[in-house]
Structure 1
């Protein structure tokens, strides 16, 4: 029996652990946006409530312990070190802190694509009004995007901001591992959005030669933690001093004066990019989910294999429908897709609405209908979703 088989059969091996979400009764294909949170996370809510209501100042020690466990969990997930991991409620917070550590005195050019997540792209477009030269590349085709980025590097380039998976089409960006060396040789900072890779594709900062890059991701999608848990791997051994800096960015807020000059920063480079007082509930929840994934041996490698099996299962079933490619077609082969099945169609809006009406929840971006499975769904559910797509195409 293969390692994937217990997740493909009905009942799915882990589906009973998501009783509150009722994953066995739903056809939810939004795993690339939000996956269901396992039932064990509920204990995190109770623990957080007890911490808030029972303790006074002592609760800080408990919260710091949870913070470090989350830092360690994300570090292990992407093969980083806890001291290199910065934490925040959103990728946007981390991106703004990244932007604030750059040296704008001599360089003004930032290279990115029009397909980045709005958390990043909206901020960069606004930065043009502040004197930044923004080079906006077309994300398609993703297969040669890195080549096109490299062609635009020069001595005036301040940073490159890129995703490992195109936000709209879901196509993987190949050869990201070749970016760091040429960027480093020119003194260019590299910022990688890996939210659509972590815990679903085979990805780590070590595997992709990104130890000296800034790499962000978070818990709302494939990590099953819900909102409020995002992280950034910060390059080690460098003296970053972000201008946007909260009181968590200091070595010891009880001993170091915020008015001291020069301003004190933490020894751990990741902590320098931490923010300030935050809602701790997501961290209590995340610790429970990290524990659950370890207990169930849901490693990134296994989750990658499950996802690949699920996409392949849907792709084969879709191909057997023999639908008119002018109406609906796979946007690329499964080998080039990220964590969701990407279907190109001029009728994406109508198809998504009809599928919703007959009980299948998915989403779309532009001309891409996006079907995102999750490890708690069995093959039978996935095939039912493909049948729902057939019905929806017929209804057009």
Structure 2
């Protein structure tokens, strides 16, 4: 069954385009347009009074949507920000020790990678990076390093943004987490609404950051943090929205909310949350779960993988597939192909109005709800023509 009608506005803007970068800028469904319009209408109908609606209805609904997706026991552990960088900065600011001792991988996304490097330059953090390669031993090596102790913060991706490889031992890290430290942060951006994720068993011990830009199909401005109760109670980087609610703190000192609202920043554009809520309602109305979408994506990935192996995609068969299809566990929504010609291949595809994505020597094909088997066959045929060997 094709779900293209849910994306009619986006697809009609460029009917001939093949967009296989759903892992990058995911196309937005029609429901997101409705959410954007509703945000504008509410802001102008209610003006100064819109924040009563935002905090009384829009944010609680978004919290409930995140909690339902991740099977969190309490939606109040969820807070929002324009991007995950803001949230990571607030978490690290709350570590009392200086320099902050951080354990991470050498494959984290740039929002953390760049900031960590700058903190190192400034002498504010000391970072230990566990190499991703060889990946078949990464989980064991990372957990062993975490168990070695001596860290204030442990940060790792659920799905690595460049390679599409997955980390499977979040529970082992949660066992090490303590309110006094270390704190465990999982970057779930390529996992949230990409693979069914149940955090119920670890929600009381780990932080989880993700957002709406990719598989939540909601665009920018809808990043979120799940914050376990009692962890990082007083972030040093703090916005004035954290002043509202049930507050606690030292007499005469800066007061904080006890729920995830302790991580609130300041005034922000709420349209992303409107879009997110409408998209979640759209999926519910269509009877689509993350597992359903993942199953459709897997069918497309299987066919593309078969075409690669059979030589139907020409020289692309020479690439190393970094995250080959194997088993039935959670996986990325994209296939990552490493080859010295990756940049040239991406450019050649784009010249044919076929949108993919490249990171250094890795070409990534992302699959989503707005593609069908006919789109995939067009992609395979185009690759065969462009990269004939």
Name the TM-score, length of structure 2 as normaliser: 0.90
Give 2:10's aligned residue: 21
Q: Is the 8 A contact 1:327 1:346 kept in 2?
A: no
| Alpha-carbon offset, residue 46 of structure 1 | 2.4
Seen in structure 2, the aligned counterparts of structure 1 residues 226 and 125 have a Cα distance that, compared at 3 Å, is same
Q: Is the 8 A contact 1:215 1:233 kept in 2?
A: yes
| Alpha-carbon offset, residue 210 of structure 1 | 4.9
Listed one character per residue, the Cα deviations across residues 115-165 of structure 1 (whole Å, up to 9, x for unaligned) are: 111101111111112242111222223332222223323442111111011
Seen in structure 2, the aligned counterparts of structure 1 residues 390 and 261 have a Cα distance that, compared at 3 Å, is farther
Structure 2 distance, partners of 1:326, 1:383, is 16
Give 1:160's aligned residue: 154
Q: Is the 8 A contact 2:71 2:200 kept in 1?
A: yes
Give 2:128's aligned residue: 135
Equivalent of 2:283 in 285, 288, 293: 293
Q: Is the 8 A contact 1:317 1:383 kept in 2?
A: no
Give 1:56's aligned residue: 47
Structure 2 distance, partners of 1:175, 1:203, is 13
Q: Determine helix, strand or coil for the equivalent of 1:232.
A: strand
Aligned length: 379
Equivalent of 2:197 in 200, 203, 209: 203
Structure 2 distance, partners of 1:49, 1:185, is 41
Q: Is the 8 A contact 2:82 2:223 kept in 1?
A: yes
Q: Is the 8 A contact 2:185 2:206 kept in 1?
A: yes
The answer to whether structure 1 residue 149 and structure 2 residue 142 are counterparts is yes
Structure 2 distance, partners of 1:186, 1:79, is 25
Give 2:108's aligned residue: 116
Give 1:379's aligned residue: 373
Structure 1 distance, partners of 2:162, 2:344, is 17
Give 1:31's aligned residue: 22
Q: Determine helix, strand or coil for the equivalent of 1:276.
A: coil
Q: Is the 8 A contact 2:27 2:217 kept in 1?
A: yes
The answer to whether structure 1 residue 389 and structure 2 residue 383 are counterparts is yes
Give 2:70's aligned residue: 78
How much is the aligned-residue C-alpha RMSD, in angstroms? 2.5
Structure 2 distance, partners of 1:308, 1:185, is 39
Give 1:330's aligned residue: 321
The answer to whether structure 1 residue 312 and structure 2 residue 322 are counterparts is no
Structure 2 distance, partners of 1:144, 1:185, is 29
Give 1:214's aligned residue: 207
Q: Is the 8 A contact 1:111 1:157 kept in 2?
A: yes
Which segment drifts farther, 355-364 or 259-268? 259-268
Give 1:47's aligned residue: 38
Structure 2 distance, partners of 1:359, 1:273, is 42
| Alpha-carbon offset, residue 383 of structure 1 | 2.3
Give 1:93's aligned residue: 86
| Alpha-carbon offset, residue 87 of structure 1 | 0.5
Structure 2 distance, partners of 1:286, 1:185, is 31
Structure 1 distance, partners of 2:333, 2:137, is 20
Q: Is the 8 A contact 1:108 1:156 kept in 2?
A: no
| Alpha-carbon offset, residue 84 of structure 1 | 0.5
Structure 2 distance, partners of 1:185, 1:21, is 45
Equivalent of 1:278 in 268, 281, 291: 268
Seen in structure 2, the aligned counterparts of structure 1 residues 234 and 160 have a Cα distance that, compared at 3 Å, is same
- Structure 2 unaligned runs (5+)? none
Seen in structure 2, the aligned counterparts of structure 1 residues 284 and 346 have a Cα distance that, compared at 3 Å, is same
Q: Determine helix, strand or coil for the equivalent of 1:145.
A: helix
| Alpha-carbon offset, residue 20 of structure 1 | 1.1
Name the TM-score, length of structure 1 as normaliser: 0.88
| Alpha-carbon offset, residue 317 of structure 1 | 1.6
Equivalent of 2:228 in 212, 224, 235: 235
- Structure 1 unaligned runs (5+)? 1-5, 7-11
